[in-house]
Amino acid sequence: MNQDFETQLQVIQRALGEVVLPALGNADKHVIEQLHLSLAAIGFMQQRLPLARRYYRGTLQRYLTMANAVCARLQAKACGLEDLSAKGQATLDDPSASDADFRAAIAALRAMIAVLVETSQDTPHESALDALVMEHCEAILSEDRSWCIPLGFELRPEDLPKPDWQP
């Protein structure tokens, strides 16, 4: 069989786009629109599935960098983040870790950093922490936007820096 998922998705795309769509003729507009959007979702998966592991690993690495910077800034006040950071690093170093493991580690770091931002309100380190978070998030969001380029929402995708997960 065709083991690669790209081929599986490609045959679906061709069937839906070249056979089903033209046959719909006078169908309701929303039916046609949903088929176009389904094709767009399949196209996104076809382009991104082969890169998913690199993207998740890269995102985890960037959140670990942010977490380490936050820990350095807050020292003892970054309760819990150091442990999460150590677990995230272990996941990154584990060759058997799955994509789901990477995503779970990323989610845990994001949630803990957001809690620290919230609980830092009216403390002496609040503004420094907020600035640090915004600085690190800017780079992360640039990569996330590149990930979503196939969806077609970027006005000038060529202006985004080349992400490190892109071959």
Partner 1 sequence: MIDDSIRQHPSDAFIEAVRARFPTEHEVDTVLTRKMRRRNGPSFQAVALDTLVDGTERLITNQVGYPVRIADARWLSGGASKLQMLFNLQWRGENADGQAQVVTPMVLRMEPAASVTESSRRREFEVIRAVEGTVPVPRAYWMDPDAQFLPYPAMVYGFATGTAKPSHDAGKVTGLGQNYGPDLRAKLAPQFIDYLARIHNLPIGTPPVLASFDRPEVGSNASVIRQVNAARRIWEEDRIEEEPVMAVVYKWLIRNAHPIDHISIVHADYRSGNFLFDEAKGEITAWLDWEGAVLGDRHQDLTYAALPIFQHYAEDGETILVSGMMPEAELYAAYEKASGLPVDPARIRYFGVFNRYLVSVLLLAASTRAARGASTHQDVLLNHVAGMGYLALSDLLSFFRSATA
Which parts of this chain interact with partner 1 (CB under 8 A)? 28-30, 33-34, 37-38, 40-41, 44, 106-108, 110-115, 117-118, 121, 130, 133-134, 137-138, 141-142, 144-145, 147-148, 151, 153-155
Give 4 or 152: the residue with its C-beta nearer to partner 1.
152
Give the long-range contacts of residues 91-95, CB within 8 A, separation 24 or more. Answer: 91/60, 92/57, 92/60, 92/61, 92/64
Give 4 or 164: the residue with its C-beta nearer to partner 1.
164
> Rounded to the nearest whole angstrom, what is the least distance from the CB of residue 2 to partner 1 in the complex?
25
Tokens of 129: 């922490």
> Rounded to the nearest whole angstrom, what is the least distance from the CB of residue 81 to partner 1 in the complex?
11
Tokens of 141: 């969001």
Q: Can you give the C-alpha Rg of the chain in angstroms?
A: 21
Half-sphere exposure of 119 (CA within 13 A, CB side): 10
Give 95 or 124: the residue with its C-beta nearer to partner 1.
124
